[in-house]
């Protein structure tokens, strides 16, 4: 059985007070609460807007479409180097949250207004992403492989591109591509 938000927060050893405060701030703004991905998640009219996170050294309030926010107070950061949409605010103590309470509420209200207006995040397409030189070379030699790769869903293509590109050495990139060719020909994703 899925735990409730209360259970998740109560069982959290590191950030119980901080998560409770973030929860009350978000709920004060009228969002709907539920557990998704074993995290407190908040939505408006069925669209996920915010999720709370708990890590070893900090807790977070994450805006799924944070890139759309003005961020006048410069408190948002990307969750990871390949993130295109979500932005987070990191906290290491309760006093930081209390100090930013009115700012957080303003950001949440701005996010609700953006959702009401139908604002959308524009993601980079696969075509806009730089292909590793090694992949381009293999495509030029094997058109069937290029066709198989380009027939994958954009998400699967992106996962492969991130995996190939993360290798520091050219021979490692080539090795990864060659090793995963059979999966790509089968139409499978990196983690399938």
Digits of tens for pLDDT over the chain (192 positions)? Answer: 789 999 999 999 999 999 999 999 999 999 999 999 999 999 999 999 999 999 999 999 999 999 999 999 999 999 877 788 899 999 999 999 999 999 999 999 999 999 999 999 887 766 667 789 999 999 999 999 999 999 999 889 988 988 998 889 999 999 999 999 999 999 999 888
76 and 156 belong to one structural domain: no
CA-CA distances (angstroms) from residue 109 to 2, 44, 102, 133? 29, 11, 11, 44
Q: Is residue 93 assigned to a domain?
A: yes
59 and 113 belong to one structural domain: yes
147 and 104 belong to one structural domain: no
Q: Is residue 79 assigned to a domain?
A: yes
Q: Is residue 35 assigned to a domain?
A: yes
Residue 118 DSSP SS3: coil
Q: Is residue 100 assigned to a domain?
A: yes
Q: What total of structural domains would you count in the chain?
A: 2
pLDDT of residue 126: 66
Residue ranges making up the domain that contains 181:
126-185
49 and 138 belong to one structural domain: no
Q: Is residue 191 assigned to a domain?
A: no
110 and 92 belong to one structural domain: yes
46 and 70 belong to one structural domain: yes
Residue with tokens 């709370």: 52
What pTM did the predictor assign? 0.72
Residue 191's CB is within 10 A of a number of other CB atoms, namely 8
91 and 159 belong to one structural domain: no
48 and 23 belong to one structural domain: yes
73 and 132 belong to one structural domain: no
154 and 75 belong to one structural domain: no
CA-CA distances (angstroms) from residue 123 to 105, 128, 138? 26, 10, 26
138 and 50 belong to one structural domain: no
User: Of 77, 92, 117, at which residue does a domain stop?
Assistant: 117
40 and 60 belong to one structural domain: yes
């Amino acid at each position: 059985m899925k735990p409730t938000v209360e259970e998740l927060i109560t069982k959290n050893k590191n950030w119980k007070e901080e998560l409770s405060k973030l929860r009350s701030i978000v709920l004060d703004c009228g969002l709907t609460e539920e557990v998704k991905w074993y995290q407190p998640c908040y939505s408006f009219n069925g669209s996920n807007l915010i999720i709370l996170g708990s890590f070893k050294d900090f807790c977070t309030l994450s805006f799924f479409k944070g890139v759309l926010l003005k961020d006048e107070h410069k408190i948002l950061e990307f969750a990871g180097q390949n993130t295109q949409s979500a932005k987070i605010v990191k906290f290491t103590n309760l006093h930081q949250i209390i100090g930013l309470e009115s700012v957080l509420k303003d950001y949440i209200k701005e996010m609700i207004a953006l959702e009401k207006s139908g604002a959308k995040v524009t993601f980079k397409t696969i075509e806009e992403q730089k292909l590793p030189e090694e992949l381009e070379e293999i495509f030029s030699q094997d058109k069937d492989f290029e066709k198989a790769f380009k027939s994958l869903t954009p998400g699967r293509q992106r996962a492969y591109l991130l995996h190939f590109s993360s290798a520091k050495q050219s021979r490692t990139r080539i090795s990864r591509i060659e090793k995963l060719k059979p999966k790509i020909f089968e139409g499978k994703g990196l983690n399938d």
